[in-house]
Structure 1
Amino acid sequence: NICAMSGDLIAADDSLIVRSYDDKCSYILQVNGEKKINKSRVSLKEIIGQPYGAVFELNNRKFVRVSNTEQAAIELYDADDNKGGESTEVAVNLDSGVRGNNHTFVDTNTAQKLTNEDIKNLKESGTSATDIIKSLIQNSDTFAAKTDYAQAKWIKKKENKYRRRYKVLRSNPMSICEASFDKNKEKICNLRFDSLAQIISQSGVHSGTRVLVMDSMTGLLVGSLAYRMRGQGTILALYGGQQPHLEMVNSFNLSAEEINIIQPVPSTELGPAARDVCANGFSYASADDTDAITNSFPTTTYASQRGSATQSSSSTDASSNEANAAIPSVGHKRTHDGITTTTPAVEETRMEVTSAGDAGQAVSFGNDTKKPRSAPKGGNRTGKTDAERTLIHSYLRQGVDRLIIATKYRPLPILKQALYVLQPSSSFVLFHEFLEPLVDCYLYLQANNLALRLVLSDTWMREFQTLPGRVRPDMFMSTSGGFLLSGIYIGMVPCAYPFGASAEAAEHA
């Protein structure tokens, strides 16, 4: 309903979803300058100030908004059968003579009197798509000999070719997940929007919760959690490797207050915190201490800076191939056959305050700044200062009440460490695009009596087109949207974990 959304207007620099009206392609775009849509550069300045949910027609590389009356007719037409997709505008102007039955129809590819040059001239002259289709119908020798169904199918095909309509949608977890899945589902670990909804629902995340999340989807899951929590609570975004990859967080149009609850945590900090919790228990900070820690985090624009990698020697062991399949750890010291070595260390992404701002200030994640920086004084080889490490350690020592792991790596090594900082009676959800890694986690939790209500599930989903008198299923859909393992942690993990080792080495302990 366009009138209902008249107050939700598109602003400059907004991130939004542009979806073709046939739902075949979607684009995650930011409203600035020209963007590439359907192999052509399109200006987006015409949609600024227009309401979300409006329909636009692409004409001469510009978006022209379809009127509310015409859009209502289109939506009503799509909900009705109306000969299976024939355009209302074109159908009104069709001759109401006797329809053919395809008996005398012979496709010789010579029935169209208009040449390619004539059609090109019509398009360059600014002729509307409706008039072009009418001209094609009038100059076709075989159109009248087709059945009603064949005529409707022909018109629909020409509409898709000459009338390109797009609907502008607001960015939210569902629309972003759908667009990402359509474009490159491997990048988000084959996560469908229904699986994303189950992750958020089964984990019980809400405003005020403290969540430890491992996200290998360039920030899709972290952004969805921040979108749901609305600036209340804490999201500890665990990452392995050189730096966090949370670029997709920018697509959610989050305010500075909402994005400030996201704190990237290198995986190397999880082991020491787990060791301290195991030895001394959780550190229940007072309200003043919690506020002090929270206020120490950046409150404005976050900028990721890529550091230069420092090369160092590392040990080689028989299990290196399997360790590479697990979550990468950086900067850990580990002992093998009496020799202590250090894994190659690189600078971790550091959040920095660029200026004092308010909730309306732009916020960004990703490698926006290419200038390398040296390690800060008083820091370690990962680029984290002692103060930053203390803040992260304090948060982990307080424990978390939700655990979500959605990674392309083997989740079991990180699960073993993360359970130490998970409060008893807390929910956890693990997602993986393959079943076998979650089976390992299921057997580990079950064998050690660490969880209740363990459920390993796979959701099967299919879209149906409902028409009067019949239902048509979509025959081309993903067979699986990934697998989920959920349960409730009961807080009885034994303190016998080799915390000094990396997550990969601990898997073989």
Structure 2
Amino acid sequence: MAEGKDDDSLYKINEGDHVMLKRGDVYKAVQIQSKKKVVFEKQWFFLDNAVGHLYSTAFEIVSGGQLQPVKPKDVPSALSDTKEAGTDNRNIMDDGKSQKLTRDDIETLKEQGLKGQEIIQQLIDNSSTFRDKTEYAQDKYIKKKKKKYENTVTILKPTCRIMALMYHGREPGKICYLRFDTLAQMLTLANIHAGSKVLVFETCAGLVLGAIMERMGGYGSVIQMYPGGGPVRAGVDNFGFPAHFHDTLHDFPICHVNALLAGTLETSLKDPEAPHPDVAAKEEPKMEQHDTPEDAENMETNDNGEQRTDDERERGKHAKAELKKVKQEEKRKKLAAAAAQLKDMNADGLVIASRFHPCSVLMCLLRFLSPSRPFVVYSQYKEPLIECFTKLKEQGGTVNLRLTDTWLRHYQVLPNRTHPKLLMSGGGGYLLSGITVSTESSGRTNSEEPVPKKQKLAES
């Protein structure tokens, strides 16, 4: 979304918006782009016609891959109002001969332009056993056929809950198997709110970082501590935050934390990670063994295929040097801004959710928190958090340490059919949370044992 939009446009789908496509329990994050083909659940279509409609609108995929909004009155109720039903299914034999329509017949119906619900009605009318099934079995049959033949898609506004459901359903390994209810507890335990300064260390494709930015609403500051060559923010991009949200986001390489604490971090260089200019000057590009003088000469040509002059070569080198200088200056400014945020040692919260062992990271980043500030650490396994728990107890400086295990179960709530669903997540990971105190109060820590406390949550 861009800044400066009126209130009505915030609820409407606009060109360039990041949206979530939903069909059943399957989600996909895409961006609204003109004449761009989108493939979702083995169907392709264009999102051009969705611009201007409200979010949460259901669309039907018509011929040519175009979207047509589905009105509530267009949804027939005949499929669910079947009155004829059997008492049991004991006499129904699944021999594959009950359906009179063949695959070719169904393809012919599709070519004739019949909608998904009309095809389902044809399947019901041509089934010799549908009327003998129980009411529950009929509903199950209709639901199964809807999933296969209905060609509707719903466009939703991205939220951290929907994003967590999408990642956990499709690629849970990318987010360290972080479940949406565990993510919600992390935001609560870390006291994430607008106007706060939060430290984040995560390797969950940017999901945790995006959830924190969404909760803060563009007010305050977020410092992302990242390993490797640069921060990973694929999940943040899918949220589609306004530009001013990104102004509050800073990033700092965790490999420079010790230098920052020791006061030896140099932010005046063009690039702290780049070699010294004298060393760089000695390093000249070498020609590969298979390169010939003719190949090197051909590389020195301009756009017209003519050999470049000395002036053109000099201008090209100068342009590359200027571009590199600008990038290094931008990187230096970002590093200096993040270092200035960290030097005050007054962060309001710390969130860690990583595939790396969290103990050393936690002990290092706790120094940047002010007293009486919360922190939370997520891990898919409890053993690393038990080690962190023990280490914090030995070191002191923290109170209210809790190691919890969240248990969530979905329930089907229907008339005379309320029961837990058979398929459920085996575990939502573990959380270690606590509150920092001053050095003088470090001796007043409690003596809890690192035993995960089971928390039961139920969702209809």
Asked if 1:88 corresponds to 2:88, the answer is no
Q: Distance in 1 between matches of 2:321 and 2:104?
A: 54
* 1:34 alignment partner, one of 37, 55, 60: 37
Which secondary structure state, in structure 2, belongs to the residue aligned with residue 217 of structure 1?
coil
- Are 1:52 and 2:41 matched, yes or no? no
Out of 444, 449, 454, which is 2:391 matched to? Answer: 444
Larger-gyration structure (1/2): 2
Counterparts of 2:179 and 2:435 in 1: how far apart (Å)? 24
When residues 376 and 266 of structure 1 are mapped into structure 2, their CA distance, relative to the original with a 3 A threshold, is: farther
State the match for 1:122 in structure 2: 109
Structure 2 unaligned runs (5+)?
1-6, 265-272, 277-319, 441-460
SS in 2 for 1:486: strand
Amino acid at match of 2:240: N
Give the 3-state SS of the residue equivalent to 1:428 in structure 2: strand
For residues 420 and 106 of structure 1, do their structure 2 counterparts lie closer, same or farther at Cα, with a shift above 3 Å needed? closer
Q: Aligned runs of 1:324-473 on 2, under 5 Å?
A: 376=325, 384-385=331-332, 387-399=333-345, 400-473=347-420
Q: Distance in 1 between matches of 2:43 and 2:242?
A: 32
Q: For residues 391-431 of structure 1, what are the alpha-carbon distances to aligned partners after superposition, in whole Å with 9 as ceiling and x for unaligned? A: 33222111212111111101111122212222122111111
- State the SS of the aligned residue for 1:462: strand
Q: Report Cα offsets for 1:47-74 as digits up to 9, x if no partner.
A: 2211112222334444332213457xxx
Match of 1:105 in 2: 92
CA distance in 1, matches of 2:140, 2:381: 40
Give the superposition deviation at 1:464: 1.1
Which residue matches 2:71?
67
Q: Whole-Å Cα distance in 2 between the matches of residues 253 and 97 of structure 1?
A: 49
d(CA) in 2 for partners of 1:41 and 1:130? 19
* In structure 2, distance between residues paired with 1:88 and 1:446: 62
Q: Residue 159 of structure 1: CA displacement?
A: 1.9
Shift of 1:101: 4.6
Residue 265 (structure 1) aligned with residue 252 (structure 2)? yes
| Of 446-455 and 36-45, the range deviating more from structure 2 | 36-45
Q: Deviation of residue 100 (structure 1)? A: 6.7
Alpha carbons 2:85, 2:132 under 8 Å: kept: no
Q: Which amino acid aligns with 1:231?
A: G
Give the C-alpha shift of residue 7 in structure 1. Answer: 6.7
Structure 2 vs 1, CA of residues 148 and 209 (structure 1 numbering), >3 Å: closer, same or farther?
closer
C-alpha displacement of 1:483? 1.0
Say if 1:235 and 1:139 are closer, same or farther in 2 by CA, change over 3 A.
Answer: same
In the other structure, the counterpart of 1:212 is: 199
In 2, distance between residues paired with 1:199 and 1:477? 21
Partner residue in 1 for 2:119: 132
The answer to whether the 8 A contact 1:376-1:384 is kept is no
Q: Is contact 2:13–2:54 with CA below 8 Å preserved after alignment?
A: yes
The verdict on how the C-alpha distance between 1:119 and 1:401 changes in structure 2, with shifts beyond 3 A counting, is: same
Cα offset, 1:176, TM superposition: 0.8
CA shift, 1:473, in A, is 1.3
**Cα-to-partner distance string for 1:252-271 (whole Å, 9 max, x where unaligned):** 12111111111111112311
Aligned partner letter, 1:268: C
User: What is the identity, as a one-letter code, of the residue corresponding to 2:71?
Assistant: S
**For 1:5 and 1:152, how far apart are their aligned partners in 2?**
39
Q: Distance in 2 between matches of 1:388 and 1:108?
A: 68
CA distance in 1, matches of 2:422, 2:51: 37
Cα deviation, residue 150, structure 1: 3.0
Amino acid corresponding to residue 13 of structure 1 in structure 2: G
Would you say the 8 A contact 2:409–2:420 is kept in 1? Answer: yes
What is the Cα deviation at residue 248 of structure 1? Answer: 1.3
Give the partner amino acid of 2:336: T
- Structure 1 CA distance, aligned partners of 2:408 and 2:275? 44
Give the conservation status (yes or no) of the 8 Å contact 1:172–1:252: yes
Equivalent in the alignment of 2:434? 487
Superposition map of 1:189-204 within 5 A:
189-204=176-191
Post-superposition Cα deviations, 1:26-53, rounded to whole Å, max 9, x if no partner, equal: 1112122221101232211222211112
Secondary structure, in 3 states, of the residue corresponding to 2:68?
A: strand
Which shows bigger deviation, 98-107 or 173-182?
98-107
Task: Tell me the TM-score normalised to structure 2 length.
Answer: 0.75
Q: TM-score, normalised by structure 1?
A: 0.68
Whether contact under 8 Å (1:308, 1:372) holds in the other structure is no
Instruction: Percent identity, please.
Output: 30
Counterpart in the other structure of 2:4: none
Mapped partners of 2:417, 2:327: distance in 1: 70
Q: Is the 8 A contact 1:58 1:163 kept in 2?
A: no
Matched residue SS, 2:222: strand
**What is the root-mean-square deviation in Å for CA atoms of aligned residues?**
3.1
Consecutive unaligned residues in structure 1, runs of 5 or more: 72-86, 278-306, 311-370, 494-509
What code does the residue aligned with 1:424 have? P
The separation in 2 between residues aligned to 1:461 and 1:372, in whole angstroms, is 56
Q: Call closer, same or farther: CA 1:405–1:106 in 2, change over 3 Å.
A: closer
Q: CA deviation at 1:173?
A: 1.0
* Alignment correspondent of 1:315: none
**Separation in structure 1 between the aligned mates of residue 91 and residue 203 of structure 2, nearest angstrom:** 59
- Contact 1:218–1:248 under 8 Å retained in 2: yes
Q: Distance in 2 between matches of 1:276 and 1:192?
A: 39
Question: 2:431 is paired with a residue of what secondary structure?
Answer: strand
> Structure 1 residues 455 and 115 mapped into 2: Cα distance closer, same or farther (>3 Å)?
same
* Cα distance between partner residues in 1 of 2:89 and 2:362: 64
Q: Deviations over 1:167-208 (max 9, x none)?
A: 322111111111111111110111111111111111112111
CA distance in 1, matches of 2:263, 2:20: 45
**Displacement of 1:461:** 0.5
Partner of 1:10: 13
- Cα 1:100/1:441, change in 2 over 3 Å: closer
2: CA distance between counterparts of 1:309 and 1:56? 55
Shift of 1:112: 2.6
Q: Is the 8 A contact 1:274 1:420 kept in 2?
A: no
| 1:165 positional shift | 3.1
When residues 103 and 258 of structure 1 are mapped into structure 2, their CA distance, relative to the original with a 3 A threshold, is: closer
Q: Name the amino acid aligned to 1:491.
A: S
Q: Is the 8 A contact 2:250 2:337 kept in 1?
A: no
